[in-house]
Amino acid sequence: QSIGPRSVKREVTNRMGDFNSILDYPPAPKLNPLMRLIPDLATEQELRGEELFHGKAQCAKCHYGPAFVDDYMHDLRVERFYVGRPEGPIKTFPLRGIKDSPPYLHDGRCPTLHDTVEFFNVVLELKLTDQEKADLVAYMLCL
């Protein structure tokens, strides 16, 4: 049993999943039907970013499937980085069409995709290099 402000209520996120299923996403011409980059259409940087997305950067743990979302809530414990009350779990946001929907995160604290990648680099202690962060952003612009 989950008790307290950090408990996850899957009933709510299932309704969010139903809502996400009716959304229409913009075309992603560099992705195949399995949502992977088509090598002949992608740049080397985008391909490196895709590899990072599914590997070292850990994005695919929460962002997968046709909309790149798991429809669950995750506690990032962001209060570690500023004075404020604990926010608890945050719903995973779909990444399809992400380039067209700034600002980012649940509260708009990240104005650009680069800022968002840097945020998760710090929060998840990923230790991504500047080149890896740029590669990841290049890939996300394809979604």
pLDDT band at 71 (very low <50, low <70, confident <90, very high): confident
Q: How confident is the model at residue 9 (pLDDT cuts 50, 70, 90)?
A: low
Indicate whether 5 belongs to any domain.
no
* pLDDT 10s digits, 31-46: 999 999 999 999 999 9
Cβ atoms 88, 5 nearer than 8 A: yes
25 neighbors 67 (Cβ within 8 angstroms): yes
Domain for residue 3, yes or no? no
3-state secondary structure of 37: strand
In a domain, 1, yes or no: no
What is the per-residue pLDDT across 77-115, written as a single tens digit (0 to 9) for each? 776 666 666 677 888 889 999 999 999 988 888 999 999
Q: What's the pLDDT score for residue 16?
A: 59
Q: Is residue 84 part of a domain?
A: yes
Residues in the chain: 143
Structure tokens at 127: 């230790």
C-alpha separations of 92 from 48, 96, 97 in Å: 23, 12, 14
**More confident of the two residues 103 and 11:** 103
Query: Model pTM?
Result: 0.79
Provide the β-strand partners of residue 90: 74
- Higher-confidence residue of 26 and 7: namely 26
Query: How far apart, in whole angstroms, are the C-alpha atoms of residue 42 and residue 104?
Result: 24
Q: Which pLDDT score is estimated for 21?
A: 61
**Residue 60 pLDDT greater than 70, yes or no:** yes
pLDDT band at residue 53 using 50, 70 and 90 as cut-offs: very high
Q: Which domain holds residue 97?
A: 10-140
Per residue in 111-133, pLDDT (tens digit) is 999 999 999 999 899 999 999 99
CATH code of residue 20: 1.10.760.10
Dihedral sign computed on CA atoms, order 10, 13, 15, 21: negative
Residue 4: pLDDT above 60? no
How far is the C-alpha of 14 from the C-alpha of 18, rounded, in Å? 6
Say how many domains are in the chain: 1
Report the pLDDT value the prediction gives residue 91, as an integer from 0 to 100: 85
